[in-house]
Structure 1
Amino acid sequence: MTTTHFYEYLSQPPQSNEQEFAIKNLFRIARTKNPSDAEGILQSLKALDLSSFPETKKNLMDSSFFKFMPHLTSLNLDYQSITNVNDILFLSSLQRISFKGVGLNEFSFLFPLENIEELILEENNITSLIGIEKFTNLKLLSLKKNKLRKIDEVAKIEKLVSLNVSENDISDISFIKLMSHLKFFSANKNMIEDVSSVEKVKNLNTLSLAENQINNVEPLQYLISLTKLDLRKNKIRNIKCLKELRNLFELGLSGNPLYDDDYDLFPRSLRIE
C-alpha cells in the first residue's frame, strides 16, 4: 500500500457509512490525525485488538480497512460484526486470530491463512471440524462453547500442543491417544465417561475434565508430567492411583463422592480444590 493509495482513500468523499466509520477508526488505531504518520504506524502494526471497540458491534468496517495493516500477526475480533470475511485474507502474515462470539457456523474461509498458529473460535455455533488439519502450523486451538459432538479431526494437526473443547457435547475422546505431542487439554462440561485413551498422552502437563461423567481415573496415573489436574464434579470414588502423580501442584476434586480422609493421600504442599 503506497502513500498515494492511502491519501486517495482518505481524500475521497466516503461512499458509505462503513467507509466513514473505517476512516475514523484507522486514525483512532494510529492515534494520530496526520495521514502520513498514520500510514507509517498502520504499516508497522503487528497486533490489533478490536474487541475493545464497542461501537464496531453496530457499525461495520468497509472492505478496505485491513489493507492498510498488511503486517499484522495478531488480530482480535471478539464479539464484533463480521460480514465480509474475505477482507481478512489480505493479512497473510497472521499467526494468531480470535473470533469469539461472532456467530460463526464454520471456519473454512480462514483456510488460506497458512501461517496461523493460534486459533480462538470460542462461543460460536460450530458443529464440524472438517478441514481443520489444513492449519498445518496450528499450535493452539480453542473451541470452547460451540456445538461439537465429534472432534476426531484434531488428531491430524501434528503441531498442536494446546486444545480447549470445553462446554460442547463431546462424549468420545479416544482420538487423543494419537496426540502424544499435546501438553494442554481442557474438556470441561462435556459428557465424557471414558478417559482410558488419555494415558497415551505422556507430555500432558495440564488436564481439565471437570463436570463430566467420569468414575474411573486409573488411566491418569501414568501422566507423570501433569502439574495441574481438574476433575471436579464427576462421579469419582477412588483416587488412590493419583498419588503417583508426583509433579502435581494443583488438583481439583470437589464435587465428587469422596471422603475427607481420601485427601490424606496427598502431600500438604499440593493445592487441592
Structure 2
Amino acid sequence: MAPLTLDQIARENNGDASSITSLQLTHRALSDVSCLSNLAKLERVDLSFNCLSSLEGLSYCISLKWLSVAENKIESLKGIEKLSNLTVLNAGKNKLKSMEEIRSATSLRALILNDNKILSICKLDQLEHLNTLVLSRNPISEIGDALTDSKSMTKLSLSGCQIENIGSSLVSCTELKELRLAHNNISSIPHELSRNTRIQLVDLGNNSIERFSDVKVLAGLPNLKNLNLHANPISNKDNLAHKVKKLIPNLRIFNARPIELNTTKSTSRNVTPEINPPKEPKMKHKVEKSGNAESDPKKESANSNSELNNATESKNERKKKKSAKNEEKKHDNEKIDDADIPFLDVILSEADNNNDLNSNKKRKSEEKLTGALVVDHTKKNKKQKSKTVISGSLAIKMLSPPPDIGTGGSSTWD
C-alpha cells in the first residue's frame, strides 16, 4: 500500500493542490496520509473505508474543520489535540478503547464514535460547543458525570450499550431534544428527566421497563412528540397506547407509528336541516272522493303557484349553499400556507379528512366540515381525479427530517 502523495492529489485536481479546500479519499486502502499537512487551505476531508491506524498524520492540518475517518483501523485519537478548528469528527467503526484525547478539541460541535470499544465517557466539560454525541454500540455501562457541563447538547445517542441507570446524569443538558437509549438494560426512568423540558424524542426500545408508573415521569415533558417503548415488558400490556396518549397529550408518534386522531365528530358537522320543506310532486286535478264535489280551480291554481315559488326558493337556496361551500374550500386551502399552523397538524388532518370524504362520497346533502383541513389538488392538476392520501409512515418521515451535525453538511446522525 503506497502512501498518498501530493503529486497524486495534484493530478486528480487539475494540477493545482495549493488551493484545495475539500477532498474525498474513500475506499483507497490508504495507511499514510501525512502529505495532507502540506495543504494549508484544506478544511474538509473524507477518509472513510481505508486502512489508517492513527490520526497523527493529520495533526498539522490546522485548517481542518470536518473530518471523517469512519471504518478504518484507528486505535487512538492521538493527534487530534492540535486540530483547534475541528468542528465535526466521525471516527465510528474503528478500534478505539478510549476517548480521552478528545477533551482538547475544544471547537468540536459533533462527535461520532459509534461501534468502537470505548469503556467509559470522558468528562466533556471543555467542549462547551458540543451539540451532538453518538456513542452507540460501545461497552459503556454508565454515563456518570461526563455530561455535567454539556449545556449545548441537543442530540445524544447511547443505544446498544450496557447502561442500566440514567440517574441525574442528564440534568445539565437543558437543550437536549433527542435522546436515544434503545437496546440497554434500563428498568426505570428517573424523575430527573422531567427537567429536560425541551426533549422531543425519547427512544427506550428494547429495555427492561415493566411498570406504567415508571413512564409517568414523561408527563413532565411538554414538547415530547415521539416515544418508543417497543420490546419492553410493558409493551405487552393492554391499552398501553391509549394510556400513554392520555398521559402525554402532545405525543404524535408512539412505537414508530403515528397516534390516531380523535375521530369524534363535533355537533357542527351534523347535516343542517333544510329551511324549505321538500317539493311536493305535481299531481293532476282530481275530483275529491269525499263529498263527491269537484275541487276549486282557483284554489288549485294558487296551490300550483305556491309550489312553483317554493321550488324556485329551494333552487336559489341550493345555489347559495354551493357558493358558500366553494368559499369555504377556498378558505381551507389558504390555511395550508399559514405559517402558524404546525406542519404535522396539516399532514395528519389531511389524511383524516380524505377518509371522511371517501366515506360520504354518495351523500347528496352537504356537510359543513370544521376542525380539519381539506386539500384540493384539482387546482394543481386538473387531470388528477383522486386526492392524495398521505400515509402515517410518510408523516413520520416528514416529521423527522435528517438533522444537520455541527456545521458539516448532511447528517450521519446515528
Give the match for residue 335 of structure 2: none
CA deviation vs aligned residue, 1:170-198 (integer Å, no higher than 9, x gap)? 11111234433211100000011111332
**Matched residues, number:** 239
How far apart are the structure 2 equivalents of 1:39 and 1:84?
29
One-letter code of the match for 2:3?
Answer: F
How far apart are the structure 1 equivalents of 2:173 and 2:161?
20
CA deviation vs aligned residue, 1:145-191 (integer Å, no higher than 9, x gap)? 00111102223322212110000111111123443321110000001
> Is residue 2:149 matched to residue 1:156?
yes
> Is residue 2:9 matched to residue 1:23?
no
Superposed displacement of residue 121, structure 1: 0.9
How far apart are the structure 1 equivalents of 2:222 and 2:56?
51
Give the match for residue 410 of structure 2: none
Tell me if the contact between 1:243 and 1:266 (Cα under 8 Å) persists in the aligned partners: no
> Is residue 2:57 matched to residue 1:91?
no
How far apart are the structure 1 equivalents of 2:54 and 2:17?
17
One-letter code of the match for 1:194?
Answer: S
> Is residue 2:178 matched to residue 1:184?
yes
Percent identity, aligned pairs only? 21
One-letter code of the match for 1:50?
Answer: L
Give the match for residue 103 of structure 1: 95
194-203 or 225-234: which moved more?
194-203
Which secondary structure does the structure 1 equivalent of 2:140 belong to? coil
Q: Where do 5+ consecutive residues of structure 2 fail to align?
A: 22-39, 264-347, 350-391, 397-414
Tell me if the contact between 1:138 and 1:159 (Cα under 8 Å) persists in the aligned partners: yes
Superposed displacement of residue 117, structure 1: 1.0
> Is residue 2:54 matched to residue 1:41?
no
Tell me if the contact between 2:86 and 2:108 (Cα under 8 Å) persists in the aligned partners: yes
> Is residue 2:112 matched to residue 1:133?
no
How far apart are the structure 2 equivalents of 1:48 and 1:138?
20
Superposed displacement of residue 21, structure 1: 1.5
Superposed displacement of residue 130, structure 1: 3.2
Give the match for residue 32 of structure 1: 13
**Of residues 218, 221, 229 in structure 1, which corresponds to 2:219?**
221
**Of residues 139, 149, 152 in structure 2, which corresponds to 1:147?**
139
**What does 1:204-243 align with in structure 2 at a 5 Å threshold?**
204-215=199-210, 216=212, 217-236=215-234, 237=237, 238-239=240-241, 240-243=243-246
Alignment TM-score, normalising by the size of structure 1 = 0.75
Superposed displacement of residue 75, structure 1: 0.6
Tell me if the contact between 2:216 and 2:247 (Cα under 8 Å) persists in the aligned partners: no
Tell me if the contact between 2:207 and 2:232 (Cα under 8 Å) persists in the aligned partners: yes
Alignment TM-score, normalising by the size of structure 2 = 0.51
Which secondary structure does the structure 2 equivalent of 1:38 belong to? coil
Tell me if the contact between 1:114 and 1:135 (Cα under 8 Å) persists in the aligned partners: yes
- Higher Rg of the two aligned structures: 2
How far apart are the structure 2 equivalents of 1:25 and 1:80?
24
How far apart are the structure 2 equivalents of 1:264 and 1:50?
42
CA deviation vs aligned residue, 1:51-76 (integer Å, no higher than 9, x gap)? 1xx3x22x668955563x43221111
**What does 1:164-179 align with in structure 2 at a 5 Å threshold?**
164-175=157-168, 176-179=170-173
Superposed displacement of residue 47, structure 1: 2.1
Tell me if the contact between 1:122 and 1:146 (Cα under 8 Å) persists in the aligned partners: yes
Q: Where do 5+ consecutive residues of structure 1 fail to align?
A: 1-16, 255-262
- Give me the CA root mean square deviation: 3.1
How far apart are the structure 2 equivalents of 1:62 and 1:202?
39
How far apart are the structure 2 equivalents of 1:151 and 1:23?
42
